[in-house]
Structure 1
Amino acid sequence: MSDSAFDAGGASLPASTSVPARPRHDARVDSAGKEHVIDAMRGFAALLVAYFHCRQVAWIGMESFHQSVGHALSLSTIAAYLTFPIAWGSAGVPIFFVISGYCIHRGGALKLAQNPNYQLDTLNFWARRFARIYPVLLAALLLTCALDWISFQLPPVNHKLREIGLHAFLVNLFSLQGVAGKTYGSNGALWTLSLEVQFYAIYPLLFALRRRLGMTPVLALVALVNIASAYALERHDVQFFTSYWFSWTLGAWIADARVQTSAAGHARPAPNWLYAAAAALIALGCVAFHFGQYGAFQFWALGFAVYLYKALERPRAVQTPASSISPIARVLSRFGDFSFSLYLIHLPIFVLLSSLLYRSALQSSIWPSFGFMLVAVPVAYVFYRLVELPAMKWSASLKPRNRAATRAARA
């Protein structure tokens, strides 16, 4: 839910000579140093979360399905059973948190490597984050309101629908869901966006602590805050950024560590057993999910962070042209471009489709869920082109160097 094109330091990332120049009218706003592993994982996480919700809206669920079909084999049955891993689809959320921390801090980490006395321009950082997030959020809330209003007219009312009044709208607009109210209408995915906004609001403090203490002590401090917050808030169903701050700061730590490693020159490569450790932590998260989502999130964040730390070490993962990466990674990277839009609007689309086509009745066939995804993805892409892309450009224009260039051009 964050993009590497707009870093905290206010400057573009280092250019890669291997990336061909794009025309100015190209719809994609790339960072100069494209990290395809980040884009691919962002796309993977968005699709994972979206289909996780899609199954909840459209399908009867694995247990009921198994009871109804038993061991009968058909193409539909096999397809349904193959979706079993999607039961852990909420793992996409901690993936987003880790990626967000990495993307936001990477620019600042590069600046600090060049100049240890570098100070973050807090007001400019907040202004660029506002320009990047809030136009898209406002449009998503308005779209949710419109789609949910239609869904409310089609009884029986879908179980995913909640209040779409002014109070709920303002709670979500000001990113207070989880503290002052619930998520807006059917758009339950918005609970994580409030945490993202809170991460951005507190980032200047984290950056200042990084300058004074170093990133590893900051990570340890955040871990203690995370534990205390989980005990004081999360267990009482109060969702505040402090309960998820550790996963976000893990991403920032990776950015800092990778920049420091690059600055050191010929550093020893990380051991390959980190991939096995990542897989083990992710598996532990799947086990922990049986006892509660919050604990699973912590394991998944750790597992993905370990994977990302190692994956970013590969030369092919960083600053390479799209033609040199695998076809699957290339496709996921394209989904990563509009993952924020897909994340923000998929649920009200699914709920409307379920209300229109099936009167909100859960289906025994898995095929409708695939069809719902085929509708949501292109709609999200159009939303990206019409709403998110202009917000990205506005955010980019607020970078100090870009603003100075604009003023010079007007003079």
Structure 2
Amino acid sequence: MRKQIPKRWVIEGKLSIVLDLIRWTAAAIVVLSHIKGLYFVSYSEIDNPSWYLKIVYAISSLGHQAVMVFFVLSGMLISANVMKAVEKGSWSWRTYLLHRLTRLYVVLVPALLLGLLWDYAGNSAFGATGIYDGLPEDQFILNYSSASLLTSKEFIGNLFFLQGVFVNHFGSNGPLWSLSFEFWYYILFPCMVLSISSKANSLKILYTLVVIALAFMLGEHILLYYLVWLLGFVLHLLPSSLTRKGVVFALLWPLLAIAALGGARFFPLPLNDYLQDLLLALAFSGFLYGIKLAYYRKPHVSPWLRRTSSLLAGYSYSLYLAHFPVLVFLHALTYDREPRKWQPDTQTLAYGAFLFIVISVYAWMLAQLTEKQTTKARRLIERLFLRIPSSRKETYSSFSRSK
């Protein structure tokens, strides 16, 4: 007889739709932050910025913070599916890794190859501009020599999610850093759960040793951001009904985190950058908890909202992973034109919006060939190499939603 899955691990209905929309929004903010950093002057160089420019620059300065949103969302989605499988008694490393790796590799491999193509073309045609070596005016966003990172070592390392552990990111594609973080969290979390939930003591010891080994391999920096990722898991442990305590907690949590974040910005502290990231993640987690309380188990979703969410979330992973080498290439292509950095006005903001649309269309087209084919790729691997019971397929079916 199958075990009943606790409701706290279920993500469906309006909640699932809203999470998908947030995921695309976070990816879009990352792209906008890179467009601003590569093409526009810094905020301090703007003469008498208007209120709407302040808003535009504020939003487009949140690229790194948007990655914290990714981490929390990922922790919420992946931990729920891991816990469902463990508590249902259907956990399988083979099935879990099949779902995770097909989801990751179906976009990662094309993104690495396309990045190689864009960077090689850019270096060959526009290497004299110095953009691919890291210009002083691009140091905020392109503070490395991407030309020196187009090596087989970096390519293979990124293919096995070792960027930030043993190798650098591949070429100009700096956003690849977060992918290795997430992959190792996908491995670390079930190992931690199984070190507690396994029935055999030998397995508990084995998984504990694996966790310790991973901790030594990954290092302090990646482990610190694992706490951000775990906030998504913590959300499932909180009350999932609109009790008075739950409402008060949902309101106070983000407010206190935002207040602490403001304090961290004005008072220097050890690990200050990380503390700001953690506090922002706490604030977002509180916001997410409020959404969960509001939309928990509400099955009715308007067809328009469902279609919009499906369209946008369907290419958010491709948008995040493949956009930067194209932006750098276009930056090099237009670099000799004056001015090299745009003052924000109606015309240049329209240029920036057009760039975003171009990148979005590029990512959407890539997604039709990659992300959209994830299920087909998974089924092909299952048919050719694996025989997975249908009960396990059902347990892991919602993995395809998350990055």
- In the TM superposition, 1:12-411 aligns within 5 A as 35-65=16-46, 69=47, 71=48, 80-85=53-58, 86-111=60-85, 115=88, 118-152=89-123, 153-154=125-126, 155-158=128-131, 159=134, 160=142, 162=146, 163-209=149-195, 211=197, 233-234=219-220, 239-240=221-222, 242-257=223-238, 261=240, 270-272=246-248, 274-275=250-251, 277-282=253-258, 284-285=260-261, 288=264, 292-315=272-295, 318-323=298-303, 331=308, 334-359=311-336, 361-365=340-344, 366-367=348-349, 368-395=351-378, 398=382, 400-401=389-390
Q: Does structure 1 retain, via aligned residues, the 8 Å contact 2:95–2:393?
A: no
Q: Which amino acid aligns with 2:360?
A: V
- Measured after TM superposition, the shift of residue 47 of structure 1 is 0.9
Give the Å deviation of 1:319. 3.8
User: How many Å apart are 1:179 and its aligned residue?
Assistant: 1.9
Aligned equivalents of 2:392 and 2:250: distance in 1?
43
Aligned residues: 342
1:274 is displaced (CA, Å) by 2.2
1:39 Cα offset (Å): 0.7
Gaps of 5+ in 2: 135-141, 200-210, 383-387, 395-403
d(CA) in 2 for partners of 1:44, 1:132: 20
Rounded to whole Å, the distance in 1 between the matches of 2:193 and 2:336 is 50
What code does the residue aligned with 1:182 have? N
- Aligned residues: percent identity? 24
For the residues of structure 1 that align with 2:334 and 2:376, how far apart are their CA atoms? Answer: 38
Q: Partners of 1:378 and 1:111 in 2: how far apart? A: 36
Task: Give TM-score scaled by structure 1 length.
Answer: 0.72
CA apart distance, 1:401: 1.2
The 1:144–1:288 alpha-carbon spacing in structure 2 relative to 1, beyond 3 Å, is: farther
Partner secondary structure for residue 37 of structure 1 = helix
1:77-100 Cα offsets, whole Å, 9 max, x none, are 665333221223311111111111
How far residue 251 of structure 1 moved from its aligned partner, in angstroms, is 0.9
Partners of 2:130 and 2:97 lie apart in 1 by 39
Amino acid of the structure 2 residue aligned with 1:139 = P
Query: How far has the Cα of 1:340 moved from its partner?
Result: 0.7
TM-aligned CA distance change 1:317 to 1:191, over 3 Å: farther
Letter in 2 for 1:252: F
What's the CA shift for 1:54? 1.6
CA distance in 2, matches of 1:310, 1:319: 17
Alpha-carbon distance change, 109 to 171 in structure 1, aligned in 2, over 3 angstroms: closer
Alpha-carbon distance, 1:56 to partner:
0.9
Q: Give the Cα separation in 2 of the matches to 1:36 and 1:372.
A: 27
Contact 1:177/1:191 (<8 A) preserved: yes
Q: Alpha carbons of 1:403 and 1:95: their partners in 2 closer, same or farther (altered >3 Å)?
A: closer
Any idea what the Cα deviations from partners look like across 1:112-165, whole Å, max 9, x if unmatched? 66x4xx252112211221111113111101111111112212131323351212
Q: Partners of 1:316 and 1:395 in 2: how far apart? A: 30
How has the CA–CA distance of structure 1 residues 345 and 355 changed in structure 2, closer, same or farther, with 3 Å as cutoff?
A: same
Give the number of the structure whose residues are more often helix, by fraction. 2
- Cα separation, 2, equivalents of 1:254 and 1:60: 39
CA 1:350–1:317: 2 relative to 1, 3 Å: farther
Write the letter of the residue equivalent to 1:125: Y
Equivalent AA in structure 2 for residue 362 of structure 1: K
**Could you tell me how far apart the structure 1 residues matched to 2:196 and 2:287 are?**
23
Alpha-carbon separation, structure 2, partners of 1:393 and 1:256: 34
The offset of 1:272, in angstroms, is 4.7
In structure 2, relative to structure 1, the CA distance for the partners of 1:308 and 1:34 (3 Å cut) is closer
Residue ranges of structure 1 left out of the alignment (5+ in a row): 1-8, 20-32, 214-224, 406-411
Change (3 A) 1:402 1:146: farther
- Is the 8 Å Cα contact of residues 108 and 159 (structure 2) preserved in structure 1? yes
Distance 1:150 1:90 in 2: 28
C-alpha distance in structure 1 between counterparts of 2:108 and 2:262, whole Å: 31
Find the aligned partners of 1:337 and 1:319 in 2 and give their Cα distance: 21
2:30 touches 2:62 (CA, 8 Å); kept in 1? no
- Secondary structure of 1:94's partner? helix
Matched letter for residue 113 of structure 2: L
| 8 Å Cα contact 1:109-1:255 kept in structure 2 | no
What TM-score, normalized to structure 2?
0.73
**Residues 257 and 111 (structure 1), Cα distance of their counterparts in 2 relative to 1, 3 Å cut:** farther
